[in-house]
A and B are shown apart, each in its own frame.
Chain A
């Protein structure tokens, strides 16, 4: 294996071999690195000390939530020709929901993912913080542990403090004039994730309005329960509990598509074959009578 760089921590003196750059975010680069014992980590680098220090603090604060990457250390170093600060954290072998947009996942699976991330963001919210930078890229499907993971804690703020990192598609303030700085805005973001996954597309507030999306939903062939969920989520009608309750109900009742009798192709086949059978019987009976 060839390494593109070696980083030695200024304070803790740990050495990491840099394999490759795995991502570029708003505050810096993320690299895949290994230590001397060959253990893999993600190294998140930044010149922005305030933001990175905060992220490290948040990762530690919420380390009891299993969806969050474990953070190991915060140090300074020299990488790719620059003096930077860095966090060493658990490397997550996963693909982001952004890539999932390309696959067609079933509505049921999509709703289950939504339920799981709602639980994660609720835990953070209940301890007095809001995860503002909700977006597809920050939600990873961990292929090894088959679980949902959330990364990028630089945009987490105490409730009542300002929004520092966000993505317009998922932020209610970019869509509406009337601001919400509470769990209604959180549900708005989560509901927007659901909309992106269902439509395989991310809507941009600079070129679309809430009304456009509501119209799209109304004229779609989703079942009424889902339509109502999506629209009320956009309007800002749900708090966390009510949203979770509604999603659960849809999953339990299996209400995914429009028709009551043909909810999927198996049903169609079933009713179809019964119809054929009856037709066949009538046909043979007729043959008997008129023989």
Chain B
């Protein structure tokens, strides 16, 4: 058996915040280049923790994170950013006291020279950002903020984007808009790992999905398989589907 090339992989991750308490108890996710993968799970399953551990923001106690066959376990967030991985956290994902444009500039901190080109790309993806570039991010609606946060992560032209609950707290129409943007970003060749509470909508757009429960993998499969899996429907989709 030959080892497959690991594009992006988190294997047997054990991680937690407090000594002696493991929130993740051996999680596994893999991402192929160009793929969009969804992670769903009940509240507190550890989905946010998984992204943070992958991104070097929570200490990893066991397991590995690989990116392009390089072991990046425990690398600090700023190193991963420079390697081409972007992360949009669930909360506090913009600088509220700065304007939209300043937020985007911050996103390009490591490569200020590419400003014109990256700004043009991001504004073409999110036209609202160009029109309102002077507005303070703190005065934006939740959905608009989410778009700014995503645009900010895209400034560095990442290969892989980790999104934590991009639709949380948004109106249904705004959710639609955010999901459309995500599909378009993925179609542009950026591989995506997305955590979502809105399980049904998430599984409808991703290529593959993982269901997490109490820090462990419970199910995995293509989006369609999970959407039609009776156990998944019973445990996660029946109650979580909102529309």
Query: Does A pair with B?
Result: no
Which residue numbers of B lie inside 8 Å of A, CB to CB?
Answer: none
